[in-house]
Amino acid sequence: MIQREGKLVETIFHNEANGYRVCLLECDEEMLTVVGVLPGINDGDRLRITGKMTVHPRYGEQLQADTWEPLMPQTLEGIMEYLASGLLPGIGEKMARRLAEAFGMEVFEVMEHHPQRLQEVKGIGARRWPEIAAAFKEHNALRSFLVWMGQRGIDARLSMKIYQAFGEPARDMLQENPYQLLEVLPEIGFVKMDAVARTLGIDTEDPRRVESGLLAVLQASQGEGHTCLPRELLVEQSREFLQTGERVVLEAIQSLALDQVLQVTRLEDGAERIYLMNAYTAETQVAKRLATLAVSAPPPAPRGLTDRLERLQQTQGIRLAAAQLAGIEKVFSHRVLVITGGPGTGKTTLINTLIQLLEEEELGYLLAAPTGRAAKRMTDTSRREAKTLHRLLEVSYSEETREHFFNRDEDNPLETDVVIVDEVSMVDIYMMQHLLKAIGPATTLVMTGDADQLPSVGPGSVLKDMAASGLLPRIHLTEIFRQAQESHIVVNAHRINQGEMPLLNTREKDFFFMASHSPREALATISELLMERLPNYRGFDPQRDIQVLTPTKKGYTGTRQLNEHLQQVMNPPAPHRKEKNHGDKVFREGDRVMQIRNNYSLEWRRVVEDTATGRIKTMGQEEGNRGVFNGDLGRIHQIDSQRELLTILFDDQRLAEYPFALLDELEPAWAITVHKSQGSEFPVVILPLFPAPWVLMTRNLLYTAITRARVLVVLIGSRAVLHRMVENNRIQYRHSCLGSRLAQVALFHETPD
């Protein structure tokens, strides 16, 4: 590490959102290029910077700043230069000279502690001095906070984020209880905030630390799909995570429960489960509302329903199976219905026939699915508009509170007779809570999905719990129709689901296996398939029709390596393609990308793209044009370095502008994990199969991956890995009590037919 003192003479680049700066520092007779997070400074400032020298391949030698501290000017000339640097509004060279002449070396003391004396200077009156004083105070407060944090070894980027969120009170809040900041800035994470707390002298068994760490364990468990944890498991995981004793963990549980931050509950098995309060509220509300629907009086059935269904089949040239007919009839004898089944078993045909019948009866209906791609597929198959659940429930965002909310709820329910929701396996406990709030007493809810697919990314196992509860009416479709039997995608999906090896490489079929001896070899094969073989074979567009899926993020065939490799193959650097470096990623115009967290405030507009020219045309304004959600896929349409904006054209023809500060919300998507592909469907799926942690390499992951393909599946890798995945029927258990709650209600009511 080296240390340099000097004057900041020029800022070449500055990102105000995170404080990153490229600047020139004049040190004696040496001019240094300095890069790093250097917020709250201005050209003309004197700085002491500690860091290391690096050599950039394009820009040469640079000082990479690790820590920094401001040095106040020590001469009148330095003070005048400092004041005239643009630090304070309305102070140029002339006013800076007047201030220095009036107060000399005491000018900063006057501005901070006796600012009203500024009126002694010609040109500063009763209106201007408060503005100058406020600007000086704000600037000093930021610098003082950053220096105070830096002295404790805390990263300047994190310090800037904290100050932007809390302002001047941030230091007092940190000294009182640093963990409280996580309520507003959860993205910092417990581990980073714990490191800050340790520099402030917080003890390992301090109740503030233990309570915050315990909440972090429960929040992490939600990320793994659990809505709650058994008491013993929570204590064990918290002790290990915090490296502390059992007594303080038990005391923390009791304290948080008394404060109603946690809920401790005991079901019929006698074991205690511990919830975060929002998860407990969601699960109990879902159970209560489903139970209410299950016992509600059904709507009157259409007259002559059996004859009319016969006529509809003749009109459409189809033959419904007995289970499909029973499913349609149940819609008119219950207020809620769950329809499950694998690919090719006729879920779509059942829904489309139901829609025809509803239209004949002049009954209102709404169609929805969890994701944009799933909603688009529902639109394509039904030829009626289907919305995402967020759009159906009219998601809104409050600029004042910076929180999202749904306009449709129990006070403003959906105004229709039937709501049909597809791909319910993707719906977590929170989205189900909001959906059920919007289902009024005169509305029937029909939910369809494949219970054998991977569960939702969010917490809960909602579809499986509903289907297995015994409380809700359910139709399970098992018959594979003749047309579907011609597809080896469908046939092999069912074979895999039953623990049988798929049929491979049958001539003129749609399911192929390509043996590959190493991941490196597989990368070359995938590149060849994308760039030559598949486009030549059936005219598939590598950008729009083909998606590489993978079980894992790590390794040669994980998303990280695959995306780096495929970006160079599919979208290499070129003079006409602008690009933006962000952390360890390079975003380039034309890249496939995915949104990785919900952003309810981001605005978008609906457009139409001319695929031949790449030009886009904006359509009419659309209500509720906010919100981009986890899993949305798109392509980088444009990068504007001057405005620091990156424009994404999503697959459902929404165009959104991302400030560079939001690039953490995007990931490359030339390859995505199977988990992230849920609810999506692609013409072609390529799936590499090589050894990985067996907790990931499961039968239902393989089943989910191949059912994402509509036209063609290509597996690349080891036949032994494929065989072990088919045999590995390990399903990760999710701690959830929704099924138990529904089953308890079922004991008091007659089980539906």
Binding site for ATP, by residue number, is 344-348
Distance CA 275, CA 268 (A): 17
- Burial class from Cβ neighbours inside 10 Å (0-12, 13-18, 19+) for residue 33 reads middle
Handedness of CA 408, 410, 413, 419 (dihedral sign): positive
User: Following CA atoms 709, 631, 457, 210 in sequence, which dihedral angle do they give, to the nearest 10 degrees?
Assistant: 160
Task: List the binding residues.
Answer: 344-348
CA 164 remoteness from chain centre: 23
CA 615 remoteness from chain centre: 29
Closest CA to 20 of 565, 582, 741: 582
Type of residue found at 46: R
Helix (H) or strand (E) holding 567: helix 559-570
State the DSSP code for 648: E
CB 33 within 8 A of CB 62: yes
Q: Can you state the angle between helices 519-528 and 559-570, rounded to 10 degrees?
A: 40
DSSP SS3 for 655: strand
**Angle at Cα 594 formed by Cα 588 and Cα 600, nearest 5°?**
115
288-306: b or e for each residue (b if 16 or more CB lie within 10 Å)? Answer: ebbbebbeeeebeeeeebe
CB 656 within 8 A of CB 628: yes
Q: Can you state the angle between helices 246-258 and 207-223, rounded to 10 degrees?
A: 80
Contacts of 496 (CB under 8 A, 6+ apart): 502, 699, 702, 703, 706, 726
Residue pointed to by tokens 């490359």: 668
Phi, psi of 646 (to 5 degrees): -125, 125
Distance CA 71, CA 44 (A): 11
Instruction: Work out the widest C-alpha separation in the chain, in whole angstroms.
Output: 100
| Kind of pairing between the strands at 682-689 and 709-717 | parallel
Closest CA to 327 of 446, 471, 450, 480: 446
Distance CA 22, CA 319 (A): 69
Closest CA to 271 of 231, 302, 307: 231
Can you list the positions of beta strands (E) in 330-434? 336-341, 365-369, 386-388, 395-398, 403-406, 418-421
CB 686 within 8 A of CB 709: no
Contacts of 334 (CB under 8 A, 6+ apart): 294, 298, 444, 473, 752
Handedness of CA 403, 407, 409, 412 (dihedral sign): positive
End-to-end CA distance of the chain: 75
DSSP SS3 for 490: helix
Residue pointed to by tokens 């319910």: 424
